[in-house]
Structure formats: structure tokens, C-alpha cells
Structure 1
């Protein structure tokens, strides 16, 4: 009896293994088109995201183009010591942090508000026109957007200052005052990216059960109460997810926008990490010093993401 049972188990094991192997091969064959479609994205990240990580070693060397990455002399933490002994570096880090925090606080809620407003529009023709108008700036380069901003707020020939000259008899230096420059910087960033960022929230809003609104309406809830108790909780997971990802970019001030809008007069506030890396690293060839700055920037982002995720997990909304 025992021998028969053992022999049957022994015979069934290879058969089960063969069935699993055949099922795996079949599954792979069925998903070959999807794998081919996934391949370009995978290659992009491997070539442009993961492979360049090997350049981190430059931050610990006195890098020069003649000796190359591996031939340049090793200096350990000297670049980091030199970096944080410079008063300019501390100012740049402070500027990056301030601008990023303001962009997050002011800019993050705007796509949510826009998505909720668009979701409440019932005339589809009007909704599509508005969506097209608010999505369009995302596809314009910062060279074009920067030109538009300068055309509006330039001191001598700006459209806004021409109007002010007729009202107040004198123009206002919008682009040369720190406060007004910062407001214009934040406003232009929101205007450019708000519409495109709202797409994710509109997709999340589409997943809310319409019966919840019907039940709320029957119970006497007005529009504001429905938005507060149904809409916002319904997209809460999406909001937390995007907030965690946004917190990780707190030190990452985009180069294109800052480069096209900055000028020497507001350099005390406009000089940020991305601009510093361009000016010191690329133009002056101090690659090791700017690589150290880049590592610091990414470490701060990593700490902030982990911290934000830790607090989100307290409300069962963490990424992992």
C-alpha cells in the first residue's frame, strides 16, 4: 500500500512540473507582443537612468577628461568638504529648498481643484474646449513660455507695464524684484503643468461610483458637501501617492524654467542646484564638485520620500 502511494506521488511530480513548465512557456508566448512594447521603455531606463549611476564615482575623485573616470585620482570625501565649506553652496541649497517647498504648497493643490471643477462640468463641448486650453501649455517648451512671460512682464516693452504706465504713470520691475519674480515663477509653472497633471485626477474621479452622488443628493447634500465627503475621499489614495512622489522632488528645481526666467538682479533667490550644476560643472568643468552636489540632492530626496511614505503608512496609504 505504502509502496503504491509513493510510486504514484513520484509519477505525479514530473507530470506536475511538466504542466507548470508548459503553462509558463504558453504564458510567455501569449505576452510576447506586450514584452516587445515594454522593451523600449525598459531600454530607456537602463541606458539613461541606471547606467549613468556609475558616474557617482566621479564625486569621490579629482575627475579630469584626460584620465577618465577610472584613471582620475581618488580624493574620498574632499569634494563634499569643499562643497559645504562654500557659503555659495549653502545659499544655493536654501534657495532650492524654498522654491521647491513653495511650488509644492502652492502648485500641488491646483491640479486637484482643476480636475474637480472639470468633473462638475456637464456641457461636454465646453468641457473639451477648456481641457484642450489647459493641457496645451504642457506641450510648449520653457523657451516659448519664458518668452511669453518676458513679453508680458518686461520693464520697458512688457504688456502689463504698458498698461501700468497708463494707470500709474510708471512701470514696475516685475522681473527684477525678488517677491514679484518668485510669484511670476510659481504662477508660470502652475499655468504650464496644471492641466496635464489634472489628467491623473480626472481618471481617478471617473472611478468613483455615481450612485454615491445620487445617494448624497437624496440625503440633501449640496455640491460642496458631495465634493467634501465623496469626491475628495474617492481620490484620496491618488492624492497621497502623488504627494509622496512630489515630496521626493523637493530639492529638484527644474533647470529649463529657472534658466529662462532668471537674471543677475534676482540671483540671490534664483541661483539653485540645477543652475549651479550647469554653471560650475558644465561651463567651468568642475565635474567632481557638481557630482557631489547631485548626490546630496538625491540623498535628500530619498530621505524625504521615505519619511513621507512612513507617515502615509500610518493612514494605510503608503507606497510600500
Structure 2
């Protein structure tokens, strides 16, 4: 084992015992954390899954752990038309013989989400939080030509940043999977690599590593995605479908789902790489972080981002010179 060439991320988390892997942008982001989930569990760690949820889940859990936090269980009664990937993931995990630990966090502003993260960390004695971004737009600082879909990512980033400030013993990381996917939302990956280089200079870039088809955690990730896609055929995840296509070696304008027909995709091997960062330095790059901290709703968040974009000189768009 060439341990001296392992990405620093592995060394950073090797002593973790109770890990929360949380999708930061909502939707199917938590699925992007499944390869890590299965790998860390195989190492003997206690791992819990969380996700910023797009679901209306308040009637399903009359006794939430916090106003913006519930545990999702297979016992929920969910209609076939309801968008609830966290529920179907919980059901799939149980079908594999696991005791599912899946939590949903409501789409809110920073303060309610911070309260939810506080409650979850306390409830489970979490020592490590890994936020997962399906894509790379969580690295945008605020003055790029296009930010992609920044609202949910920024709220999650700020909430966990504040929690890390309150609890210095808590280890916090941000990991992205799906390099190139956010081109669909206008992001220039020149800016993604610029951010990574800046974080590398600060000692906060913890390396990258690839997911390949023969890895058992990757096989379980694929199985989970395919099972949930069958349960939610109208909402097949474009992000995870693209990542799985990249893992299997597809390239270019390849469409695994009809949801992307009519657009041009760039499926590529870099989509199958985890890019790992210390969370606090990533959050400190966010130019409107301070203004977000007191937000209560996503409408508040939208106003903050719009005001910031109106107040700064947006930098010209760059494309990768390759």
C-alpha cells in the first residue's frame, strides 16, 4: 500500500468515529456521498446520511428533532407521486439488511438550518461532517460570471461553518463529485480550478481521487441510484446519471436519461473524481457569507445573493484553455 501517495483527505478523516455525510444542495446530492458512506462503514466508522430536502415532510414526522430536521424512515407513508429521494434511499438501505440512518433537513435560511445541524450533531455525537456537492458550483465565491445554483449550497456551507466556529473540535470538510456537470447551469470550470488552486495555496485542498467500476462502494452506489430511479422515474437525477456514465467510461454528449435530451452534455472522466477540501476555508471565500448568516428563509437568501451581485463588478467569463 503506497500510503505516502494517498490524498490528504484520507489522513484527515482516519481517526473519525461518528461521521455525518450530508448533501448540501438538496435533491439527490446525498447520493453523491454514497461511495464514501459505504467505504467509511467498511472501515468501522459510524456513518449517518443527511440531505437538504426538497420534500414537504412536516406531516410525516410529528415529533421532529428540530423544526427543520427529521429522521426519514421506511415506515413513512409516501405517495408514489411525491418527490422524496431520502425516503426511497432509506427503504433501499433497509432492503440491503442495513439499519438506515437518513435525516432530512428543510430548505431554509442559515439560522434554522444551523439549529438543525446543532441538534443532529448533539443527538448523534457527530465528530466529523462531510458536506457533499453534486457538481462543483459550491466553490463559486460570488463575483463569477455565473454562479450556477448557489442558494442551497451557500446556506449549507454557512450553517456548518458557523457550527465549526462554535465547536473547534468538530472536523468539517466539503467534497464535490461531478466536475463538468455545472456547465449545464452556466458555470465556468475555469473558476472551479481557480478556486481549487487558491485553496491549495492555503493548505485547504485535500486532494482528489477517482471512482472506478470495480470498487465495491461504487457498485453499491450504482445499485442504490438505479433502485431509487425506478421508484422515481419522473425525477431521475441528471447529476448522478452523468456521474455513473462517467464511471462506466462514457464520454462526450452521452445521455443516460431522457431528461437531458435536447441539451449537449460533456460526460468526462473528471466527473468520477471526488475533490476534497477543508470546509472552513471554502466558506471564508464566500463573499456574501456574513450577509447570509441571519437569513431565515430561502427568499432571504435570494435577496442577499441578488444584492451582492448588484454591488460587485462581475469578473469576465473564462473558459478552460485546453
Interval of TM-score (by shorter of Structure 1 and Structure 2): under 0.3
Tell me the TM-score normalised to structure 1 length: 0.18
Larger Rg: 1
